[in-house]
A and B are shown apart, each in its own frame.
Chain A
Amino acid sequence: MFSFKPDRSQYPEPGPDGKLEIDLETGKYLKLWHGPNHPGITGNMSVELTVCGDEVVDGKTHVGYLHRGFEKLMERRTFIQVFPIVCRVCVPEPDFNEYCYAAAVEELADIDVPEMANWIRTLILEMGRFNSYMMAMGGISGALGLGVVGQWMTYTRDLMLDRFEELTGARIYHMFILPGGVRAHLPEGFEARMEEVLQTAEKYLADAEKLMFHSSVFKTRTKGVGYIDPALFERYGVTGPNARAGGVAKDVRKDSPYLVYDQLEFTVHTETESDIYARTLVRYKDLQETIQLIRQILRKMPKTGEVMSNLPNVLHWKIPRGETYIKGESSRGEYGYYLVTDGTGYPRRINVRGPSYTHAMALLEHLIPGTNISDVAALMVSLHTYPPEIER
C-alpha cells in the first residue's frame, strides 16, 4: 500500500577501505547533535550525527553528561552504606542493582537469605521489569509520534509505582532489598490491589497492541529498520530482548536460575527479524509474561516466614577476601555486579555490568549509518538503553 525508497544517488561512495571520506567543507555534510536535550534520546547522552540530506552517514555516541562516579563512591563506603546508592545506578529499574549488590555481599559474607525474602525479591524484580517495559513501550511509541501510548504506559507505570510505594516505602528508589533479605512483608491486601493494576495494564496493553503492532504507520517505521545481524550479537555483547528479537532464546532466568525462578513457569519469547518491530514485539510479549509472573509469584509465595536474617554488626562489617559476579536478567538484558573484597570494611572494587553500556554505545554507533534522521530516535529507544547504567 505504501512504499518509500530513498534516493541514494547523492551519497558518496565509500573508499576502498569501506570508510567514508567526509569533508564538511564541501557543504554536502552537516553535523547534527542528537541530544543530550532531545526527546528522542533516552536519558543523558547524545549522538553526534553526520548527515547528508536527511540520511545519516555517521554517528558517534557521546556519554559523560551523567558521570556520578558511583563505583568509586562505593569504594569509599562501608558495605551497608553502599546499599542506599546502588539503586541510583539505574533509575527506571533500580531493583536489579539492589538485588545484585545484596546477593554479591551475601555470597562473600556467607549470609543465608530466608526463603520468604527470595520470593519478595523476585516479586520486586518482576514489578521493576513491568515498569521498565512500560517505559520502553511508551518510549518507542513516543519516538514514533504515538504519544497516546506513551501516556497510557506512563499512567499504568504510575499505578505500579503506587504498589512499590506501599510495599517498599518509596516510589522510585525503593531501597528495600538489603543484604540479608528484604525490609518487610507484603502489606495487608496487597495481592488484590496488585491484581487491579495488572488488569488495568492488560486493558491498556490490548489497546496499545492495536496502535502499535496493527498500525500501518508503526509497521512502516519499524519493520526492517534497525536490523541487527545476529552474527554481531556475540561481538557486541548483545543480550536480553535485543538478542531474543534476533532468534537467540537466551534468558538468565532460564539459563542459570536465581532467586525462585526455577519454581516459576514462563516462556522466553523470541522473534527472528531482529529489527525495531521485532524488538518491540518481544518486549510486548515479555511484558505479558511479567504480568503473568507477578500473578504466579503472589499465588505461589509462602504466606509467612522471616524476611531478613541477622547481619553482623554493619557498623564495622568486614567481609573476607574474595570476588564474585552476580548476574540476573533485567528488562534490558544481562545485568551483573562484580564485587571484590579484600578483608576490610570497604569494597575493594565494584563493577556494574549494565547492558546499556554495550547497546547504547558501540552497537548504536554501528547501527546508525544508513538510517534516516527521524529513525535515530526510534532506533535508540528500540535498543532500550538507560544512560545512568553506562556511567556508573
Chain B
Amino acid sequence: MSLRDVLSPFTAWKHVIDTPVTIQDPFNREAADRYRGFHQNDMDKCIGCGSCEEICQNDAIDMVPVEGQNAGPGDSGLRPMIDYGRCCWCALCVDVCMTGSLTMSNEYTWVDSDPDAFRFIPGVDGKSWDLEPKGYQREDTRRLTGTTRAPMGEMEPEARIGNFDEIVDGFTREQAVIEADRCVECGLCVATCPAHMDIPDYISKVRDGDYEGGLQILYETNPFSQACGRICTHKCETTCAAMHEGDAIAIRWLKRDITDNVPRERYFDLIQKPDVPETGQKIAVIGAGPAGLTTAYDLARKGHKVVVFEALDKPGGMMRYGIPEYRLPYDVLDHEISVIESMGVEIRCNMRVGHEISMQQLEKAYDAVVLSIGLHQGRSTRVPGSEKAEAAIDLLRRITAGEEVPVPEQVAVIGGGNVAMDIARSMARLQKVKYDKVGVTITALEELDRFLADAEEIKEAQEEGCVIYPARGPQEITLEGENVTGLRTWKVKAIFDDEGRFAPKYDEADEMVHPAQMVVEAIGQMSDISLLGAELTEKLEWNRGRIMIDADGQTSEAWLWAAGDVTSGPDVIHAVADGHRVARSVGKMLATKREKLQ
C-alpha cells in the first residue's frame, strides 16, 4: 500500500467541472435512422396476405377487415392490426412482408392515457409518424422466403419442332420442393381460381412429398387436374403474393407435379366414388368437354345416373380437339377421363344431338339436360377472299382426328390468342416434317405486349420459327384463281374508338402482303346451336347470341342447364368451375324432386 494508492482516487475531483452528460429532454431525442419504432403500412402496396401475422411470435398482429379496403383479385381486403402490448419490435413482419408495404418509423416515444390506443391499424389509423421516412426497413431484397422461380426444363426448339411430343418436362423433385417452399399460404390464389382449388394445401403436400394426399385435394375441386396442371391459364399466378417482389409461384407446374408423381393405377384407389345410394335419377350431358364432364363427375358422385353425349369420336372436347398434343398429350387426357368414367359416368361418343337423338327425346328421357357444347365454330374476318380461309379450330380438330390436312410451304395466321398460336405451331410442325423448314406468319391487331395469348406461347412460337407481325389488320386474302396466294394487311393505328367500341383504324400507307398458300383465321369461335332445333331456340331466352342463364347456369327452360364455353369461358378451369356450379344446381333440383315424390 503506497501513498499513491491513497492520493490517486482524489483525481476524480477533476470531473467536477465537466458539463453534465444527462440528456435534459429525452422526449425530443431523435432515434437512429434505422430504429425499430411504431409501424407504418403503405395501403397502396399492402395486399393483406397475412405473412406478418403468420410470422409474429407474439401473436401481436391480427388481420382485420378495413373500411374502404375491398377484397378483390390479389387483395384479401384485410390489413394488419398491431397490438403494442404484445409487439416486441423484432421487425420480422417487416422482413417477411411480401410487398414491402410494412416498415417501421423511428418514433421513439408515444404517450397516451388510453391503453386501447396502443392497438391500431398502421396506415389506416393515422399517426404522426405515418410519413416519417426514417426508421427500419429491409436493406435489400426479401430473404426470408424465396423470390426466384425454380427453372422448368423443356425441349429445345430444334428438338420439338419436328414432332408433337410434349414440350415441358415437369419439375424434378428438387425443383418442386424449391418451388413449393416459396408459398406463404396466403390463399389469395384460392380466391382467384375460378374453381377455388385449395392451392396452399396441395402445395404443402408437394413440400411434404405426400403426392397421394395432394391428388385427393386436387380432385376435391377439379377432376381435370392433370389437364390443368399442363394447360391451365393459371389466373392464380397473377395474384400470387410472391409476384410483388419476385416471381409468382409456379402453381400450375406444382399441380402437374402431383399428378405426374402418382402412378396412374393408384388414381382409381385414391379417387373413389363416395358410398352414396343410387337416386335413380338420370341426367343427360351434351358435350364431353371439361364443363360437361365435371358436371357429370359431380352428379355421378351424388348417386345419379349420368349419360354424356359426344358428337365427336372421342371425349375431351376442346382439350382434345383444340389444344395440340405437344401441350396436352392424349394419353394424359384419356387417363383423366377414365377416372371420371370410373365414377359411373357413361360417355356415348359419335352421338350428335340433333342427328342421332333430339333434344325433345332427351327432355323426355332424362330428369335434367346440361348443354355444354363449347365453341366449335370458327369466326370469320369476312374480308375479301375469306371464304377461302381455313378456320383454326377446324384445322386443329382435323389434325387431332388424324385427318389429312393441306400443308403448304407458307401459312399466314390471323389472330393473337392461344388458338392462333396453337394452329401456327401445329402447322409449323407439319411443315417441318414435310419441307424441313417452317414458314408461318402470325398477324394480329394488337401490339405484341397486348396479345391475348400467354407470353410463353408467343415466346415458344417465335422460337419454333413462326414470324409474328403485331398490329396488322387483315384487308384481303389474295387469290389467284381458286388458290390463296397471300394475306394483305394494313398497320393498325387504333383498335377501339373513343367510346371503347371495336372499330379498328388503319394506316393504309403501311401495307404488307404476307405470301401464303393458306390463310388461317383464329379470331374467335362460336357455338353451333343448330342442335337445339327451331322450336327450342325460339322458346329459350337469349343474350347477345348466347343462351341466357341464371346465376346457377339454368336456362329459361326448367329442365335445361348450360355450362362451359357456350355461356362463359374461355378456358378449362372456368369450364370446371361452371361444371361444379351447374352440378350443384341440378343436384338441388333433383333433391327437391325426390322429396316431392316421397
Contact = CB atoms under 8 A, between A and B. Distances in A.
Nearest to B89: A170
B180 to A, nearest CB: 9
B185 A315 contact: yes
Interface string B178-197: 00011111000000000000
B90 A211 contact: no
A170 B21 contact: no
Contacts of A152: 15
Contacts of B89: 170, 175
Contact of A155 (B12, B21, B35, B143): B21
Nearest to A204: B15
A314 B145 contact: yes
Interface in A192-216: 207, 210-211, 214-216
Interface in A176-202: 178, 180-181, 183-185, 187
A315 B96 contact: yes
Nearest to A183: B139
A84 B34 contact: no
B5 A214 contact: yes
A175 B5 contact: no
B181 A313 contact: yes
Contacts of B181: 312-313, 316
Interface stretch (A44-52, A302-310, A353-361, A382-390): A302-310
A166 B33 contact: yes
Contact of A80 (B6, B58, B144): B144
A81 B55 contact: yes
A217 interface: yes
A181 B136 CA distance: 17
A219 B15 contact: no
B204 A316 contact: yes
Given A155-B21, A207-B11, A210-B8, A80 B55 contact: yes
B146 interface: yes
A101 interface: no
Contacts of A83: 90, 92
A77 interface: yes
B67 to A, nearest CB: 29
B31 interface: yes
Nearest to B4: A214
Contact of A187 (B33, B57, B146, B184): B33
Which of A166, A181, A210, A309 neighbours the largest number of chain B CB atoms within 10 Å of its CB?
Answer: A210
A309 B146 CA distance: 11
A91 B226 CA distance: 56
Contacts of B95: 178, 183
A169 interface: yes
A301 interface: no
A2 interface: yes
Contacts of A78: 57
Nearest to B183: A313
B17 interface: no
Given A77-B57, A207-B15, A314 B136 contact: no
A216 B139 contact: no
A335 interface: no
A308 B138 CA distance: 11
Given A81-B55, A81-B57, A84-B92, A211 B144 contact: no
A1 interface: yes
A85 interface: yes
A148 interface: yes
A313 B144 contact: yes
Nearest to A165: B32
A307 to B, nearest CB: 7
Given A81-B57, A316-B204, A166 B34 contact: yes
A315 B15 contact: no
A219 B21 CA distance: 30
B536 interface: no
- Chain B, interface SS category: loop
A220 B35 CA distance: 45
B51 interface: yes
A215 B9 contact: yes
B36 interface: yes
Contacts of A80: 55, 92, 144
Contact of A311 (B6, B144, B184): B144
Task: Give the interface size class of chain B.
Answer: 35 or more
A173 interface: yes
Contacts of B51: 315
Interface string B122-166: 000000000000001001100111110000000000000000000
A166 B32 contact: yes
Interface string A206-247: 010011001111011000000000000000000000000000
B91 A219 contact: no
A156 B140 CA distance: 33
A314 B207 contact: no
A165 B36 CA distance: 9
B14 to A, nearest CB: 8
Nearest to B148: A310
Contacts of A215: 5, 8-9
B460 interface: no
Nearest to B145: A313
B88 interface: yes
A43 to B, nearest CB: 20
Nearest to A168: B34
B29 to A, nearest CB: 10
A280 to B, nearest CB: 15
A80 B92 CA distance: 8
A210 B13 CA distance: 12
A215 B1 CA distance: 9
Nearest to A175: B90
Interface centre among A1, A162, A180, A316 (most CB of B within 10 A): A316
A310 B34 contact: no
Interface string A57-92: 000000000000000000001101111110000000
Interface string B52-96: 001101100000000000000000000000000000111110011
A210 B32 contact: no
A310 B96 contact: no
A97 B5 CA distance: 40
B8 A310 contact: no
Nearest to B207: A316
A165 B145 contact: no
Contacts of A211: 8-9, 11-12
B96 A84 contact: no
Contacts of B91: 169, 175
10 contacts: A1-B1, A80-B55, A148-B12, A152-B15, A170-B89, A214-B5, A307-B139, A310-B147, A312-B146, A315-B145
Interface of A: 1-2, 77-78, 80-85, 148, 152, 155, 162, 165-166, 168-170, 173, 175, 178, 180-181, 183-185, 187, 207, 210-211, 214-217, 219-220, 307-316
Given A175-B36, A178-B95, 7 more contacts: A165-B32, A170-B36, A183-B139, A214-B8, A313-B145, A313-B182, A316-B181
- The 8 lowest CB-CB distance pairs between A and B, nearest first, are A84-B90, A81-B57, A166-B32, A216-B5, A214-B8, A210-B8, A165-B32, A313-B145
